[in-house]
Structure 1
Amino acid sequence: MKTALHQPASFDLLGGKLHVYRRENSRFFQCSTYLAGRNHRATTKHHDPERAIEAAEEWYLSLKVKHRSGELKGGKLFQDAATKFEGEYAALVAGERNPEYVKGHSLKLRVHLLPFFGEMPVAEITDQTVQDYRVHRMTSRKDAKTGQPKRPSRSTLHQEIITLRHVLKTARRLGWIKFIPDVSSPYKANGKVTHRAWFSLPEYNSLVEATRKRAEEPPKKRWKWECEQLHDFVLFMANTGLRPDEAARLEFRDVEIVKDPATKETILEIAVRGKRGTGYCKSMPMAVFPFQRLQARKRVAERKERGSWAGSTKINESQLSPPQPTDLIFPDLRHHHLNAVLDETKLKFDREGLRRSAYSLRHTYICFRLMEGADIYQIAKNCRTSVEMIEKFYAAHIKNMIDTAAVNVMKKRSKEPRPEGAAKAERPEPKREAKAKRRKTGGKYGKPAFPQ
């Protein structure tokens, strides 16, 4: 009697069209075949060779039936194109795109796209298939409390469609498909005029006053350094228009105090490194004093985890030193107390319900510049963005962008001169005067209306 160890590990059946084999460290036999342009594999769920062969033949015949009836689709699968895309994309954009952004594509594929499209031949993905995916994402997740669908945000779904388009473009380059299906939303209406959450002038003054008070009287003494840093952070951001991630990378050597030759004012010239690579920014004059306070504020050389940059209460003043040129201006930016101040002043949400954050200070800078009449192109250049973004998200809701003198224009109507020899048109008599005249002259038919 042969044991399982002495039994053959593979069989070729039906003239080599069907293969039955057993992998290492597995007690079940597997079967595979090549049909309709791709390989098919399955497990027989049997460890006995005879039963495994019988199950494999039944599986092969069922595939043949599906192939003849048109149910078995051929061609490369979506998961093959996704694997190819991940390898190419990571290699081609290395050093150019943020590593977290590259990982985001893989995450979207693994969590959302592959479970829906993975086993689907890439040639079978049509316009309607993409819309079916949109419906699936809008209705598949349910809220445990209310039972209502948890719809992803518009931007989240848009990013997933971008990843899907990348995979389809990869399949087209490889010759697996002839064209890319239309992945745009079929029922997209004209978007409403939206804006980014920003602070109006009274709201901004309230925020600055709250941070100033917090810097003078911090909730806890050990937070004094952080509260002073927060106050200068708000003033610095609202007068430079930097993105929070750009401010987080900013070092003291990146900022220079200069006298602007055009305005004769003292401003900051900043070398910015962030989302758009390396760029430059010129600040408002009000950003100079906060930066000088940041330069003069002493800190410890090395901070303990979850500690303060001012050190503990037991530390001596001699152990603190001014920051070095290579030090970050805003270390541990994510730990600032801005959210606490926004909650205290009830400024966390704007009139439209939009959530405010550190990014809102950049939006405030742009809106204030527009309200003062600055040129849109120069604002976009100084903020390292495009004119289209400024017009779409900022200028559309600023009332100062409407020129009243250009809108409320009335055409002057000049009196036309009367032609020479033209008779002056007689004005018709009023009805009351005509009736009184008829009474005096004898009525309508020439006779007195009443005896005299």
Structure 2
Amino acid sequence: MPKSHSHYKEFLDLRGDGRVVLYKRADHQNPKWTVRLKIPTVEGFVVKSAKTTDDFEARRFAEDLYYRLEGKARRGEPINSPTFRRVFTEWAKVPVAEQVVRSARYVNGNVRRVEIWALQYFADITIDKVTEAMLADYVDWRLSQPRRPAIVTLKNERTAIRQLLRFAKRRGYISEVPEFAIKSGKNNARPDIPEVEWNRLVRFLPGYVDRTQDRRRQRERFYLVLYILIMGNTGIRIGEARKLKWRDASTTRTLTDEVRAILSVRGKTGEREVVCNRGVERYLDELRSFRTEELGHSPSDQECVFCHPSGAPVGSFKGASRGP
């Protein structure tokens, strides 16, 4: 036995060039063969257990694996694919500045979504094995949980998992990001407002505030108008809007350098980040300016965005719609 291989009790170089090697370690009691492969153009070695003590079976396994991996290397496909857990650890450490949406809350929220469920499910599966079929199985598994998730929750998880998979592609761990389909839920959503009617409402609203001389009613209508515009351009729920505080509102810049408002809302499905349509940042500025003038100073971060003069949250805007 060569001196350089003295730490092996058995060592077989099948081709004589170090590319396909079988060995058993002298310091291990495991009687099964281990395969060590050196693939051209790929850094380092690929080491796998042959899972057999039979010499012939181990040789066949090693040669088949070598040619399979060599073919993947020639096609530009990754060879040493890390586990989902390892990719998650790397992805979770990526600075917020490198993410598409530059919001720490948004990024951390997506990391948390993957950590709670996907990390538990995929764990030590190599990232190249996370296929379209496996992602479909993941959705079925989530839907089988005692607390069945809403479709919107699954879609938020899909967004986060896709971000991780795109990160894996940039690192060269996978060649393509697999499709990730989620079936729609029951078709019981409220119908959308037709665009023609929405535009007519938007044109009507400014004059609606000016048509009353009563200062209290003007304030109510001013808040109602901005409430309608913000709700229509964010899709947040009534309960979420009622709890929305100034600390929950922030802004970010898109890749096209547009300023967009981001709202951190809490409701029946838990906490979520909402990237708003263009214009919502102006509506929030109008509300903040009005409230600052009303108070004589900026509102507290703990104060609700939609509030009465006392600072108490507005429970309903029904009163603002009455009268001339």
| TM-score between both structures, scaled by the size of structure 1 | 0.35
| TM-score between both structures, scaled by the size of structure 2 | 0.47
Structure 1 or 2, whichever has the larger Rg, is: 1
